[in-house]
Amino acid sequence: MVWLMSDPCTGAIYLDNAATSFPKPECVYSAVDTYMRQMGVAFGRGSHTGTSDAARLVAQCRQRLARILDAESGDRVAFTFNCTDGLNLLLRGVLRTGDRVVTTTLEHNSVLRPLQQLKSELQLDVVHVDFDADSGLVNAEVFARELRSQHTRLALLNHASNVTGVVQPVRVISAAAHETGTLLMLDTAQTVGHIPFSVRDLNIDLLASAGHKGLLGPLGTGIVYIRNGLEDELLPARCGGTGTDSESLVQPAVMPTRFESGNLNMPGLAGLNAAAEWILQQSVDGLHSRISQLSTRLSDSLRGIPGVTVFGGADVQNVGIVSFTLDGMDSQDVAAVLDQSFQIRCRAGLHCAPLVHRRLGTISAGGTVRLSPGPLTNQADVDTATEAVTQLAASL
Ligand SMILES: Cc1ncc(COP(=O)(O)O)c(C=O)c1O
């Protein structure tokens, strides 16, 4: 197999795959182009030949995603416009006045802010369980104790932190959630397509993810998974035309239509469908090993540079994110130098996860510098990044 340069157009090294994956496999670009030029139709509207081609594409995409998630069937997957959209859809669907939610301080603002909003709208009781600053792991025992101490509607956590990349102990929390009759919802923005897992094996009730990160689809795509039968318990946060049951004034009850009002992002889904096929061909396991090998190499080398602190334990499972600070330099400045002097594109700051930085003590450093390789990153790319940080640290 031929692995491309990180960014074949500019020669720059793109290490910001945790924000959105780039470049995408070639088949993703051509699928979007083909859809735009040769199909162009809306999904589920009308009955001409073009719309049945679109329907086939959407069904195929759902089935491929269901295989990646090990979901019961393709219709358990509904399309959204990004992970945030899906998280909002699920939270608004599932929560009722006075509900209790147990979550963590690892969460992204895409969870923290909707919860804060719903807390005031619905008088929710929201508990944030902390994580260990050294390992980056949430305290699963404390989380489980919270679930056992009081009836809780929803256990909600980040499958892997977008700051440290550390994969969280979901199995222990899932067991406690099901023992106590609590619904389990995961934010899998950083894990779907990156690490192999099964929604059925982990007993996950609800999941939201991005289509444009580890799933390698275009921006403007996202998914939710809703466990079989659970759709009845969820109010549709968005109602409108679905192209089905048009004589009824009531939102359809069936999956996935119940949660997909208005036109879908068809060019985006054409790209996501091609990306899902590519991922299945490579296998999530294979992609994970490749990225892990690169990120471990990067993280091990950075840990050896004087003045560099890498966050998240070296011996815990990681999706391939390396976050660090450099003594004596603001993280934003580090990223600016990496960009301007070394053509390394990465991200610095709080990564929309303010409570993580409070715990890590990295707010005064301007957050962390985050390097995130993707499936098309080369070993030479991560070695160039190590060399750049080495030179920068030596110059201070
Ligand atoms: C953990 C986590 N949750 C949610 C999101 C939001 O994803 P999106 O931009 O697709 O809405 C991100 C994006 O970085 C993330 O890392």
At the top level of CATH, the class of 27-282 is: alpha beta
Ligand 1 site, residue 21, Cβ cutoff 6 A:
no
What pLDDT is attached to residue 2? Answer: 34
What pLDDT is attached to residue 7? Answer: 55
Model confidence band, residue 9 (pLDDT cutoffs 50, 70, 90) = low
- Specify the higher pLDDT residue, 52 or 175: 175
Residue 76 has pLDDT above 90, yes or no: yes
Ligand 1 site, residue 138, Cβ cutoff 6 A:
no
Which of 16, 20, 83 maximizes ligand 1 atoms within 8 Å of its Cβ, making it the mutation to test the pocket?
A: 83
Q: What percent of the chain has pLDDT over 70?
A: 97
Phi, psi angle pair for 53, to nearest 5° = -65, -40
Residue 90 has pLDDT above 50, yes or no: yes
Cα–Cα distance, 151 to 5 (Å, whole number): 52
Q: Are 266 and 54 in contact (CB under 8 A)?
A: yes
Residue 88 has pLDDT above 50, yes or no: yes
Ligand 1 site, residue 82, Cβ cutoff 6 A:
yes
Give burial (CB, 10 Å; 0-12/13-18/19+) of 126. Answer: middle
Q: Distance, CA 188 to ligand 1 centroid (Å)? A: 8
Q: Are 100 and 150 in contact (CB under 8 A)?
A: yes
Q: Tens digit of pLDDT for each residue in 10-46?
A: 689 999 999 999 999 999 999 999 999 999 888 887 7
What pLDDT is attached to residue 10? Answer: 67
**Residue 63 neighbours by CB distance under 10 Å:** 17
* Closest Cα to atom 15 of ligand 1: 189
Which of 108, 323, 347 maximizes ligand 1 atoms within 8 Å of its Cβ, making it the mutation to test the pocket?
A: 108
Q: Are 166 and 132 in contact (CB under 8 A)?
A: no
Residue type, 116: Q
What pLDDT is attached to residue 329? Answer: 97
Ligand 1 site, residue 222, Cβ cutoff 6 A:
yes
Extents of the domains making up the chain: 27-282, 284-395
How confident is the prediction for the chain on average, in pLDDT? 95
Q: Distance, CA 48 to ligand 1 centroid (Å)? A: 37
Among 4-13, 21-30, 134-143, 260-269, the range scoring the smallest mean pLDDT is 4-13
> Residue range 256-280: average pLDDT?
97
Beta bridge partners of 129: 104
- CA 109: distance to chain centroid? 13
- Specify the higher pLDDT residue, 53 or 115: 115
Phi, psi angle pair for 391, to nearest 5° = -65, -40
Ligand 1 site, residue 292, Cβ cutoff 6 A:
no
**Residue 47 neighbours by CB distance under 10 Å:** 9
Cα–Cα distance, 172 to 168 (Å, whole number): 10
Residue 188 has pLDDT above 70, yes or no: yes
- CA 34: distance to chain centroid? 27
Peptide bond into 169 cis (omega under 30): no
Cα–Cα distance, 51 to 57 (Å, whole number): 10
Model confidence band, residue 51 (pLDDT cutoffs 50, 70, 90) = confident
The ligand 1 atom nearest the CA atom of 352: 14
Residue 380 has pLDDT above 70, yes or no: yes
- Specify the higher pLDDT residue, 308 or 44: 308
How many Cα atoms within 13 Å fall on the side-chain side of residue 192? 33
Q: What does pTM read for this prediction?
A: 0.96
- Specify the higher pLDDT residue, 260 or 41: 260
Give burial (CB, 10 Å; 0-12/13-18/19+) of 364. Answer: exposed
Cα–Cα distance, 133 to 343 (Å, whole number): 31
Q: Which of 94, 27, 30 is nearest to 259 (CA)?
A: 94
CATH of 284-395 given 3.40.190.10, 1.10.230.10, 3.90.1150.10, 3.30.70.141: 3.90.1150.10
